[in-house]
Chains A and B, each alone.
Chain A
Amino acid sequence: MTKSRTLLRIDPIGCRAHGLCAEGLPELIHLDEWGYPVLRGDEVPPSLVAEARRAAAACPTLAMRLRRDPAGQ
């Protein structure tokens, strides 16, 4: 049995390089030279889910999204 995973996605069209995601979740996101987020993998470990939620809520264009991926999918 696998537990449900939390997946992290950036909407590339919505993103305007404010950079708050990398500030709020430096463990998973860093910025490229133009200020756009680069993800270190797309899965959020359970220990970082709360931070990831805060970072997503802080994005001014709501381009950072978290999705629950139910078990077995």
Chain B
Amino acid sequence: MTTFTPMARALPARRLGLAGHEQAHGVLPLAAFDGREGRRRLIAEVTAAGLRGRGGGGFPTARKLAAVRGRRPIVVANGCEGDPLSSKDRTLLGLAPHLVLDGIQLAAHAVAATEAVLCLHEGSRARASVEGALAERRADPVPVRIVDVPPRYVASEESALVHYLTTGDARPTGKEPRPAERGVDRRPTLVDNVDTLAQLALIARQGAGTYRRTRMDLVTINGAVRQAGVLEVPPETTAAELIGYAGGPARPVQAVLMGGYGGTWLPWTAATAAGPAVGAAPGIASMHVLPASACGLAFTAKVLTHLADESARQCGPCMFGLPAIAADLTGLVAGDRHTLGRLERRLPLVTGRGACAHPDGAVRLAASALRVFGQDVTAHLRERRCTAHYGGSR
């Protein structure tokens, strides 16, 4: 296994206060992008850097910046990180709060916003770090307010955040209208993940060319590895390399879950054979490593039960579909033969029918589990147990 120490880029080893941050990165380069022309140059730089949203959606950030037009725009920084398999955002806010706050200032400048909100889940451990950093900053042109968001999974979905900030109801409202056109209090709104904003702060300092050549991604790795945590790795890093950087496997590995609770299972053989780069996987930058001793189906059944509980219960296919699919998976693990046919009928019916992507992710996970743990499906139905020791991995 490679021994690899990620270069200190966005993530320092210890929390940086303002002085340390400016020593590491230089001062906030707002003056370099002065005026309307500078604004255009900043967005052009983000386009050239190829930055995409790091909150799971992967949408080109420059296009989001350019879409915000109209009276009194507002910037919403999303630091909620609702996925239990991700901790990169709170790690970033804990160690490099000033990089995120720089990104907020730059984004606000790019869209001509005069106000910004940083959303954290209620009780977030990152709050003290962010408050401390805000108290240190005196020269910021745009005031930043911290807002506590209910710690529910879908509350940090883009439209749910906008809805919460406008009405106090943290449920998604659907794809239309786009926040850029009509967001918080009907104002043009930019919603960006905090990791995305930190990357924006790096791009503004390094320029698109250097950023592209030396880009690193924050990735959460957990499960059966020796050192679970958040790593900063090149985007072309494979699953096998990532496990190497995390100290190697703690136990023999069976499969990896890429992309968090709404992600996709990958058999370990596929992950090792020059497998897909971590930076190219859809969903949030997270990898969970499942040991050979755990049952992937039982694990997935538990996750589906959690996702069903976390539904905002607004859209029928999510409100009824997810509990039914979770119950089917639980039944499958217990050896109920009727579940497989139902799953095959139900899984393709849910995708795209909710106001947000919550049910789509849940279904993607369940479908990939049936594919990757196909032998276990047979074993569970035939012998009411699988090749792995029954009981899940967590």
Nearest-CB residue, chain B, relative to A32: B349
Shortest A56–chain B CB gap in Å is: 17
Task: Tell me, yes or no, whether A15 is within 8 Å of chain B by CB.
Answer: yes
Of the four ranges (under 10, 10 to 19, 20 to 34, 35 or more), the interface on chain A belongs to 10 to 19
Shortest B311–chain A CB gap in Å is: 12
A51 to B317, CA, bound (A): 25
* Contact between B354 and A12, CB atoms less than 8 A apart: yes
Shortest A33–chain B CB gap in Å is: 8
- Residues of chain A with a CB closer than 8 A to B317's CB: 12, 32, 34, 36
* Contact between B320 and A12, CB atoms less than 8 A apart: no
Task: Tell me, yes or no, whether B321 is within 8 Å of chain A by CB.
Answer: yes
Most buried by B among A10, A17, A32: A32
Chain B interface mostly helix, strand, loop or mixed? loop
Chain A interface mostly helix, strand, loop or mixed? loop
Task: Tell me, yes or no, whether A35 is within 8 Å of chain B by CB.
Answer: yes
* Contact between B353 and A35, CB atoms less than 8 A apart: no
Given contacts A32-B349, A38-B353, contact A11 B174 (CB under 8 A): yes
Shortest A1–chain B CB gap in Å is: 28
* Contact between B316 and A38, CB atoms less than 8 A apart: no
Per-residue contact bits, chain A 1-44, to B (CB 8 Å; 1 contact, 0 not): 00000000011110101000000000000001111101000000
- Residues of chain B with a CB closer than 8 A to A32's CB: 316-317, 321, 349
Task: Tell me, yes or no, whether B173 is within 8 Å of chain A by CB.
Answer: yes
Most buried by B among A13, A17, A33: A13
Given contacts A11-B174, A13-B174, contact A34 B315 (CB under 8 A): no
Shortest A29–chain B CB gap in Å is: 12
CB contact list, B62-85 vs A, under 8 A: none
- Residues of chain A with a CB closer than 8 A to B321's CB: 32, 34
